[in-house]
Structure 1
């Protein structure tokens, strides 16, 4: 099995971290997706922040029995700390809607729409949001040559954390005929736009700030770069002209609102300096909360420490109506 494939966990692991407090919060993390390890790191910080803030906290490392576990422990709120499949794609929000348990982060529609790259891309285009050109390639197409002129990006349709993403440059020794479609029978092929990578944090409909990622060791912002100290430099706030900075804030709020997001999200853009234009790449409705994550760093611009940020996210918990 590929190290980034979805796994099967029969039984959730339940850990009581604090048995009394103002409200009972169940933090659901870990889980069965390819991003399990990242989710566990995010959950660790969130768990501690909630305990320090005086909540009764139960951590659930999610298995397939999650519904019965939640019915048994009866939390007041679920903090959705899952990344990837089953948590970020709308599955857990759908279950929590049925169980009528308020939860953090976006609901079913926004989560599933943002998680599917093909649908998110179509939504960008339909809403006049500039984005990189792309096509969908099926394994059954048996394409032998490059599906579009190099450089281009290969993206699995439903993976996060840049898992499975490859950038094919002109000089690379790569034959598309040998690509084995490790994450499903379809991939998105997207034009590569050379530029500066910008990340925007949005909390409860308001943009908090813009951060620029400066790569130090890799050619693009891949999985290892995201989660390995020393692989990238974060410039926060991003060194942009004020009018361009404000434009990113406004565009991120528009994306958030029209997609009907909730809680906290992170929007990703490429700034093409040759055209003086921004291109939206993705929107992440369940962004990481690890020590190297972008959301806490941007929130600090607004004077929010990690514990305050977690509480602010918790305050947005609700169910779809």
Structure 2
């Protein structure tokens, strides 16, 4: 606690108040202390409550393991925030992965001392959603805008984020829109929002598809795809920052930077600073998403509550995560 107090410029008593959720300090000071504690990965030296919160990662062909999620900066930020915030609130966190949701998954939870479950819903299938609609448990779905009326959820305001990108692009510009594969609900919502918002701009629009989540170097076919579709003075809009980084790499390697007027991404991942060319992006406040998800679990609302977390447009290297 002494290190946190020194960085925050407050007393150790103030740090104790913040970490133990006690009155006696302002909300601004509390937020500052908790932010520093999170950055330092601080875990309070107190007895963890008996109850456990499960953070469940549902895998698929693209997301095959916990290691996979931890290699993607956006998901790693979510995992780190859950670890810290669960401990700060006095709950144990169980980080689990399953390849498919089934009834046995929920039966196992009911037989143990589980307070609630937050499901990372990025890759949930329609079958998963149908199953969740039948489950009566304290569940919150994170990061899947297609979930409706079944359980409480916390999602990104994709529409607002896309509108902030569209606002940066002048009418009649040449635009290359890059779809992310697999076509997960977040990407689909961004695509729908882009097409709707772009109607009045009269863009000279070309659309292509690329794999969002591969860790290998860009493939020859991906390089050729960009080379063939990139026209002079093109604005590129990628559905996520992983794609934007791939495109930046190809453009730099093939010496095509003079053809790119601007490159936009979405999510504001940590590794954007490694881009060989500037990427403008939409920032998602992961800390707020996790706060909202845990709050929904702890309050156990009798009806589903759906929270949308706002986004912010970020210029260049002003990375927030």
TM superposition score normalised by structure 1:
0.41
TM-score (norm 2): 0.41
Structure 1 or 2, whichever has the larger Rg, is 2
Greater helix share, 1 or 2?
A: 2
